[in-house]
Amino acid sequence: MAERKPVESWLTDMDGVLIHEGVPIPGADAFLKKLRDSGHPFLVLTNNSIYTPRDLHARLLRMGLDVPEENIWTSALATAQFLADQRPGGSAYVIGEAGLTTALHDVGYVLTDHEPDFVILGETRTYSFEALTKAVRLINGGARFIATNPDNVGPSAEGVLPATGSVAALITAATGKKPYFVGKPNPLMMRAGLNAIGAHSEGSAMIGDRMDTDVLAGLEAGMRTFLVLTGVTQPKDIDRYPFRPSEVVDSIADLVDRV
């Protein structure tokens, strides 16, 4: 088997890798500084579609982590890019926050509830019965169903919250139509991110804390994968999956010298 090329480009998940419950994970600042200083292309990824890259840049900076806007890749951006490629200048009825609506506006989409091409479901803290009912009726009327990511729950200080995947299941039950999920573990999000920074999968690595999203997406995109043990997946969980990461490390701190 041919030896793999050295890692020249890095993609890393955010929650569970760089931060945990709003606090930086030790080594995250050193890793990001090494990436910036090295000049290697890199992206910080998140399935959360609520925030714009500018919002996330500011939130991370308040935690002491400096990630330029252009190095942040969200499921909202990936969804907007996917739709711009599939149906340029289309229209959509959107359930979501500024991260998603801004991304769609930026690719020239019109947001409307009148015969939209797509119904797009993203993350929000204020899912309303009225909005969900409208989404169901529009999908039954012929609109195509897209969701930013399949995560069933999201974190909060008070405990887990129902997230996009759970709400998508509700709409599917009412319409019989399953959405196309753009975010992880769909390798489309990874490949679009690699294209955004001019990188190739053969010389790229994905760092994540979840086997079922981060590692799977990186694997299916043809990248080297690193699993950190500072988030969801723990050592006892790894053998439950029919695939493995390229390497398992304790935390992001163990990868600083690999950049």
15 is catalytic: yes
239 is catalytic: no
Per the residue annotation, which of 15, 151, 209, 214 is the catalytic one? 15
Q: How far apart are CA 96 and CA 111, in angstroms?
A: 12
Task: State the Cα angle at 159 between 248 and 53, rounded to 5°.
Answer: 65
Q: What is the DSSP string of 213-241?
A: IIIHHHHHTT-EEEEESSSS--HHHHTTS
Q: How far apart are CA 101 and CA 94, in angstroms?
A: 7
Per the residue annotation, which of 13, 151, 209, 214 is the catalytic one? 13
Contact (CB, 8 A) for 79 and 179:
no
Query: Whose structure tokens read 């974190």?
Result: 155
Contact (CB, 8 A) for 77 and 59:
no
Q: Which residues are catalytic?
A: 13, 15
